[in-house]
């Protein structure tokens, strides 16, 4: 589904990614772990199409297409979803309007007619129930005045509405209390199918107690220095990132 080959990228002249290789197939869950500043969020943002990065080398293909050629909106419509580490507040844009525009753009891309107001509300309700969302997120402006936990729940809610093929969750667990973490993790698990894939970008092992990965990769100084199964996360937790750092120097 996703193939990253020797990806090198810089921001403001500083090389952050120094040759990333990663293959993600349908049905798989990959965790990318690493200390702060290792390039995890950069990788997530590049996949979603953020403009401030310069690609120095390498290629990324998604479902056979050159992903780096596509605009952020076309990547989204093609099935890539980035759950933001810091979801932005947009006062004055009602959640409902935003979600409706988003869902209908995705439908248009697939050649489907836009949802009627009734159909849209039905979908909204169904997804809310599925995720056990009790708080009222949809009648407010996008993320405005939301707590950290609400913002992350809202990201997963959007993911549920859009049903992406590849979900990239950037530090979705950071700043979440255990109840919010459980809701978010249950949501991600509920949305999992054999046809879609998930990349979890995380600093901590904690999230992986709830969402069990098939593969764990350790990113350090812009390179994947270690890959393994889910037990690698536990080993990391036990030994700490110093183990990686020392082993690499």
Residue 229 engages another protein in binding (rule: CB under 8 A): no
Stretch that binds another protein, among 54-62, 89-97, 170-178, 204-212 (CB under 8 A): 89-97
Each residue of 144-169: b (16+ CB within 10 Å) or e?
Answer: eebeebbbbbbbbbbbbbbbbbbbbb
Note whether 152 and 180 are within 8 A (CB): yes
Residue 137 makes contact with another protein by CB under 8 A: no
Q: How far is the CB of 93 from another protein (least distance, A)?
A: 5
Binding status of residue 153 toward another protein by CB under 8 A: no
Cα–Cα distance between 104 and 98 in angstroms, integer? 10
Q: Which of 50, 42, 94 is nearest to 76 (CA)?
A: 50
Stretch that binds another protein, among 5-13, 29-37, 46-54, 192-200 (CB under 8 A): 46-54
Q: In the bound complex, what is the minimum distance in angstroms from residue 242's beta carbon to another protein?
A: 33
From first CA to last CA, the distance across the chain in angstroms is: 34
- Nearest distance in Å: CB 157, another protein: 12
- The rounded distance, in Å, linking the Cα atoms of 249 and 221 is 11
**Total of chain residues touching another protein, rule CB under 8 A:** 29
Q: Using alpha carbons only, how large is the chain's radius of gyration in Å?
A: 18
Judged by CB under 8 A, which stretch of 5-13, 31-39, 82-90, 115-123 contacts another protein?
A: 82-90
Does position 163 interact with another protein (CB under 8 A)? The reply is: no
- Reported as type and span, the H/E element at residue 113 is none
49 binds another protein (CB under 8 A): yes
What is the full DSSP assignment across 4-71?
EEEEEEEETTEEEEEEEEEEE-TT-EEEEE--TTSSHHHHHHHHHT-TT-EEEEEEEEETTEEGGGS-
Q: Which of 12, 13, 14, 51 is the binder for another protein (CB under 8 A)?
A: 51
Please state, in angstroms and rounded to a whole number, the distance separating the CA atoms of residues 201 and 219: 10
- Stretch in the footprint of another protein (CB under 8 A) among 31-39, 49-57, 127-135, 186-194: 49-57
154 binds another protein (CB under 8 A): no
Q: Which positions from 90 through 119 interact with another protein, judged by CB under 8 A?
A: 90-93, 97-98, 101-102, 105-106, 109
Among 5, 8, 18, 50, binds another protein (CB under 8 A): 50
Backbone angles phi, psi at 194, to 5 degrees: -65, -15
Which token pair is 171?
């530090």
Return residues touching another protein (CB under 8 A).
48-51, 71-73, 75-77, 82, 84, 87-88, 90-93, 97-98, 101-102, 105-106, 109, 141-142, 158, 162
């Amino acid at each position: 589904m996703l193939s990253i080959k020797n990806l090198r990228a810089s921001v403001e002249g500083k090389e952050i990614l120094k040759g990333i290789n990663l293959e993600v197939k349908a049905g798989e869950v990959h965790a990318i772990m690493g200390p702060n500043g290792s390039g995890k969020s950069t990788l997530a943002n590049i996949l979603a199409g953020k403009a401030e990065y310069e690609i120095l080398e390498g290629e990324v293909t998604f479902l056979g297409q050159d992903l780096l050629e596509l605009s952020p909106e076309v990547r989204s419509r093609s099935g890539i979803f980035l759950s933001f580490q810091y979801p932005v507040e947009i006062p004055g844009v009602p959640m409902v309007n935003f979600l409706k525009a988003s869902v209908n753009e995705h439908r248009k891309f697939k050649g489907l007619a836009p949802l009627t107001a009734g159909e849209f509300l039905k979908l909204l309700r169904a997804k809310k129930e599925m995720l056990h969302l009790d708080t009222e997120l949809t009648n407010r402006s996008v993320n405005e005045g939301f707590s950290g936990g609400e913002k992350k729940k809202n990201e997963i809610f959007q993911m549920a509405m859009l049903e992406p093929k590849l979900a990239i969750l950037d530090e979705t667990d950071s700043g979440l209390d255990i109840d919010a973490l459980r809701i978010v993790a249950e949501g991600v698990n509920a949305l999992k199918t054999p046809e879609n894939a998930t990349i979890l970008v995380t600093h901590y092992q904690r999230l992986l107690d709830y969402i069990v990965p098939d593969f764990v990769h350790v990113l350090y100084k812009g390179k994947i220095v270690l890959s393994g199964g889910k037990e690698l996360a536990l080993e990391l937790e036990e030994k700490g990132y110093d183990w990686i750092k020392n082993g690499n120097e």
